[in-house]
Amino acid sequence: GRIEMPLFYVIRGLCRDDKYKCSQGQFPITQNVTVVEGGTANMTCRVDYNDNTSLQWSNPAQQTLFFGDKKALRDHRIELVRATSQELTIRIGDVSLSDEGLYTCSLFTMPVKTTKAFLTVLGVPTRPEITGFTKPAMERDVITLTCTTSGSKPAAIIRWFRNDKEVQGTKEVNATGKSFTVRSSLQFQVDRRDDGVAYTCSVEHVSLSSPYMTTEVLEVHYAPHLDIAHSQIIPQEGQYFKLECVSIGNPIPEPVLWSKDGGELPDIERMIVEGRELTITTLNKTDNGTYRCEASNHLGTSSAEYVLFVYAACACTPSAPPPRYPNAVGPHGPDHALIGGVVAVVVFITLCLIIVLGRYLARHKGTYLTHEAKGAEDAPDADTAIINAEGNHVHAEEKKEYFI
């Protein structure tokens, strides 16, 4: 029988028998190459069949780099890797952006066969730089932070982060020769919540395995704000009592000054000041009053007050619950006598209304009797009542209902 062979094997057999004809009809095989600036690019050109016809590499300017194994261009960065009848591979070291372009591999047959390969060079961006930080910034200032990176190709991508949260900036791209300079800006009004916040500029690019990042921490100066914290909810005589002046501000507001009722502390033996704390070792009724702490920095002064009312010591027995005190922020609590009086008046008015309503209903309650039954209600027994009722039938024309 007849055996059919695939066309590939037929052509391969023919080329084995006549390599000259096959080399005349084929084109060199190449591949595009991408390399990072400063790296090394291997350019390979090959053919399947060759009868000792030379292969040649040329650069984008059509300058011959290698003809077979012979170096034609004096460039120390270019060297031969392999030269055979079927392959010509060269290496270009320390690649620059100017090396990018179309390279030509030529097979010197009649006519000459050529194939192109494109060398792409990626420009590596510089590490980002953040400008515009004012140290320190003042609260309510408007500042502009700018992140800049240059040398990228294609243009790099810049992203901003406020701590870990991404925020949007304004992007600007400028070409510089074959590379790009990229800028991104953030503009905002500073407040005290920005104090200590980290602003990070991240640069992403195809040439980088991980982003380049630069971080700056914003320092914000702002006026102080004070509050007073106390150790006892219900201060009582004989207790140890502490007040703490809690301050926020940058710079830290110092020193903290304590006063009572607009003057100096009256008993420095029992009233001990240590930094931001005022301690009264043993409370008594003479400690009642308004305590004030004050502190300042170069942006302003702030103060806070606490009204102290000292209650009598609790003389509770284990079986009796302790008395309930109002919140100890001052000498005035709820007036229980007033509340009791209001309740008594409400109860009295309610009782009066009930009595009046009862009397009104009683006065309007009666018995309806017909004329026929008149007199029956006074009968001593049922028979007499019937007789009395029948005696009245003669006056039927006077049947009328009346109300007693």
On whether both 158 and 197 belong to a single domain, the answer is yes
On whether both 72 and 151 belong to a single domain, the answer is no
* Residue at 321 is within a domain: no
Phi/psi at 255 (5° precision) = -80, 170
> 208, exposed or middle or buried, with CB in 10 Å at 0-12, 13-18, 19+?
middle
* Residue at 203 is within a domain: yes
The domain in which residue 67 lies consists of 28-122
Last residue within a domain, chosen from 218, 234, 262? 218
On whether both 157 and 197 belong to a single domain, the answer is yes
* Residue at 10 is within a domain: no
All residues at 6 or more sequence positions from 93 whose CB lies less than 8 Å from its CB, including other chains? 40, 77, 78, 79
Give the pLDDT confidence score for residue 343 in this predicted structure. 77
On whether both 48 and 134 belong to a single domain, the answer is no
All residues at 6 or more sequence positions from 164 whose CB lies less than 8 Å from its CB, including other chains? none
On whether both 167 and 191 belong to a single domain, the answer is yes
* Residue at 344 is within a domain: no
The Cα 56–Cα 73 span in angstroms is 12
* Residue at 189 is within a domain: yes
Strands 113-122 and 271-274: unpaired
On whether both 112 and 134 belong to a single domain, the answer is no
The Cα 135–Cα 196 span in angstroms is 12
Contact call for residues 251 and 211 (beta carbons, < 8 A): no
On whether both 214 and 194 belong to a single domain, the answer is yes
On whether both 32 and 117 belong to a single domain, the answer is yes
Contact call for residues 283 and 235 (beta carbons, < 8 A): yes
* Residue at 313 is within a domain: no
* Residue at 361 is within a domain: no
Give the pLDDT confidence score for residue 335 in this predicted structure. 53
On whether both 134 and 80 belong to a single domain, the answer is no
Q: What is the pLDDT of residues 1-16, one digit of tens each?
A: 433 444 333 334 444 4
Give the pLDDT confidence score for residue 104 in this predicted structure. 97
User: Which sign does the torsion angle of CA 257, 261, 263, 265 carry?
Assistant: negative
The Cα 7–Cα 385 span in angstroms is 142
On whether both 211 and 246 belong to a single domain, the answer is no
The Cα 132–Cα 147 span in angstroms is 9
pTM: 0.62
Residue 104 belongs to domain with CATH number: 2.60.40.10
On whether both 298 and 229 belong to a single domain, the answer is yes
Torsion of CA 8, 9, 15, 21, to 10 degrees: -40
Could you give the number of structural domains in the chain?
A: 3
On whether both 115 and 158 belong to a single domain, the answer is no
Residue ranges, the chain, pLDDT below 50: 1-21, 317-334, 367-373, 385-386, 391-404
